[in-house]
Structures are given as C-alpha cells and as structure tokens.
Structure 1
Amino acid sequence: MLYYMFNKPQGCVTARSDALHRTVMDYFPAELAAVLHPVGRLDKDTCGLLILTDDGDLDFRIMQPNRHVSKTYFFYALGSIDADKIKRLESGLSMSGMTARSAEFRLIRQYRIAELEAFMPEYRRERYLRNPQGPAFSACLSVHEGKKHEVKRMLETVGCRIFYLRRESIGGLTLDPALSEGEYRQLTDDEIASLGAERSTTR
C-alpha cells in the first residue's frame, strides 16, 4: 500500500480529474496519479493536509463522520470572538440542516482586518477592507465528524466569517512544516500506524 502526505495549495480541487480546474493529482507524477486517490476532500479555497493513497478502505476508517476522528484546522476570520461564542463552539451547535457536536477551540491572536489583507481571497479583498479597523482573529478548531463545510458554518453561526482555512492534522497525523504548498512525501510507518493503517511489505 502507498500512503502520501500532501500540502494542498489553495486554488486546486480535490478530485482525480476536472474539466475546468487544476486538481490535486496534477501535482503528482503520472505513475502515482494513476493509482492514488485523495482521502476525503478539501474545498478549492482550503489548503493544508491531504492524504493520498491506494488503500481503498482508508476513507472509511478515518473520514466517515461516525468514526469521530479529529481534524484540526487553523484559520483567519472576520468578526469578534468572546467567551460566550467559544463556549457555543465547544458545546455543539445546531445549524441549518446540520448539527455540529462538541469541538475544541484555541484562540491564537486578535487582529484588525487590514493586518490580514495578504491572506484574503482577491475576489473579496475590496469588500472586506471596507472596514479596515474592524475585528479579526486567528484560531484553531478541532472537530470530530468532518461534515461538509463544518468549520466555516460553525463560525458563521456565531457571527464570524472564515476567509483563510488550513487543515493541520487528521487524528494523530500532523502536516509536516517542512512541506511547502504543493509538495508531498510518503508517510512513515509510525504515521501510517497513527491512522490505523498498516504498510504492506510488498510494493
């Protein structure tokens, strides 16, 4: 079995092929792209840790919401954050069409919106900078179900808007800080074991 860690850049889609957009598979040589598939997905505008493998069962073992494997995300968001909002995020939220269970929130730093201009998507930058002295912040949130758009929707429910999102970890596997965006490497045996998988001795 093959297992790779990929630092997904923004702007590419998590798919094997796409008629309109560059995909994560385009970063791999043809011989690997032919056999690997992405485990789960990250939105086009989300970057960070993505696993690619030829292990057909890995998706089920770590990405299904009912498996409750934690995923940790770093983000920048517009809006203010306080103890009440953090309590709501950590206790679980009811949202339109979805319920988010308990999560772990860690506030990193508070900013003024203008300080984070470099991280804003170009197509929304002008709109966000209409209030350059407004509040913004960076934080990490760990969720345990991995539902579609879960982190963004959770923050929207407490009146904040994420504009930069990076997945940092899945279960016991953490994104290698030595990997630049668009780079990949094979997982070590210990990293594979942390996902509940086992490397085959034959390749």
Structure 2
Amino acid sequence: MIIQAGDDMLYYMFNKPQGCVTARTDEIHRTVMDYFPKELAQRLHPVGRLDKDTCGLLILTDDGDLDFRIMQPDRHISKTYFFYAVGTLTEEKKKLIENGIPLGGFTAREAEIKLIREFRIGDLEEFMPDDRRSRYMKNPNGPAFSASVTICEGKKHQVKRMLEAAGCRIFYLRRDMIGALALDPALSQGEYRPLTEKELIQLKNN
C-alpha cells in the first residue's frame, strides 16, 4: 500500500546499495533513483544522503516539509549505524567517542557506541571494498571488530572520521535507523517499499 498524506504524497524506505550515489542524476555513477521505475523517480527525492560506499536506510519522498524537518540541524535526529572496522575498540576509545571526539575543525557531539563482536581481519574479507581488500589482507590475523554507533548530527564522513580519530578504520558501514524508524531486514540492498502507517508516524514524530 502506498502511504497517502495531503495530496497523495509518497514515502518510501530504500535499502541503498554500496556503489551508487545519493543524487537524482549523475553523469558518471549510478544513482539511488536508478533503482526506481521512471514514474516514481520523477516524483521522489532522497532525504539527506549516504556516501557512495555506505549502504542502508534511506528515505525517499515528495514531501518537502518532511524533508525539511528531518534535515534541520537543530533537531538532532539520531541516526544509528552498524560497521566493521580494522583495529580494537577499547574502553578508552569508546569514552573518547561517547564524550565528543575532536575531528579537526570541530568536535563531534556525544555519541553512543556499542562493541558487538571482535574478529580477525581475515574473517571479514567478504565485506571489504575491492580497492582496499589486498591491503587489509596482508595482515589477516590482525584485529577487527563490529559495532554500532548512534550520532545526532551528520557532518560529511562523520562516522568514519570519528573512528579514524580513535585509531580504527571502517571498511563497511550501514545505516540501520533514523530516529525510531528501522531498516526493514527483509529488504535486500537495492530493494524498496512504501512506509507503513506506523513507520510514517515514527518518522514524523522524530
């Protein structure tokens, strides 16, 4: 069912794949709009953006008011990410990130970070980008880990910069939540569906 609001506005959840850009058009790269049929692509626009090599939850709509409310910096809507990184996440590093870590030019706001599991680098080869795989696999027994982090701002490459400032390097990043709205685990990368009534309320109440 397509969610309607006002004059038949559209609201879609999209699991953005890695390798495409968050834009309506691009002369070089595939865009998120290329995954939608023409009649939808002509109406929808992405709310915010995800980096080319970041996957996960992206909202597309033709509701400009919703776009404005979500993207207003002073509203500090939380965004939660899952990631794999090379390095170790010590208690000291966690505290640095949680208390607001300096990023060169500004200090990130306080964040929530949770270690999920520790790995060997070689255990995570399938998640590594092609252009960095050979470099990381030179040390397959080195430390790596998975974690989740929640931030309330959205500077460019912020999550990656935060972890780099703590001595870790992210090689796989996925956005799982915007406020209370969670990515549907049934959606594979490149798939989309309309928001449900409950999800739209969650999004509007952020």
In structure 2, the gaps of 5 or more residues are: 1-8
SS at match of 1:94: coil
SS at match of 1:195: helix
Q: Are 2:130 and 1:122 equivalent residues in the alignment?
A: yes
Matches within 5 A, 1:147-186: 147-186=155-194
Matches within 5 A, 1:43-122: 43-122=51-130
In structure 1, the gaps of 5 or more residues are: 198-203
Q: Distance in 1 between matches of 2:107 and 2:65?
A: 26
Which range moves more in the overlay, 110-119 or 56-65?
56-65
SS at match of 1:137: strand
Q: AA paired with 1:51?
A: I
Q: AA paired with 2:186?
A: A
What is the TM-score when the length of structure 1 is the normalising length?
0.95
Matches within 5 A, 1:178-197: 178-196=186-204
Deviations 1:61-115 (A, max 9, x none): 1123321100000000001111000011111111112221111111100001011
Q: AA paired with 1:111?
A: F
Q: AA paired with 1:103?
A: A
Q: AA paired with 1:45?
A: D
Give the C-alpha shift of residue 166 in structure 1.
0.2
Could you tell me which residue of structure 1 aligns to residue 6 of structure 2? none
Asked whether the 8 Å contact 1:65–1:147 carries over to 2, the reply is no
Dislocated runs of 4+, deviation >3 Å: none
Deviations 1:37-77 (A, max 9, x none): 00000000000000000011222211233211000000000
Shift of the 99–65 alpha-carbon distance from structure 1 to 2, 3 Å rule, reads farther
Could you tell me which residue of structure 2 aligns to residue 201 of structure 1? none
Q: Distance in 1 between matches of 2:183 and 2:10?
A: 17
Q: AA paired with 2:10?
A: L
Q: Distance in 2 between matches of 1:65 and 1:151?
A: 16
Which range moves more in the overlay, 25-34 or 55-64?
55-64
SS at match of 1:166: strand
Q: Distance in 2 between matches of 1:96 and 1:58?
A: 32
RMSD of aligned residue pairs (Cα, Å): 0.9
Q: AA paired with 1:83?
A: E
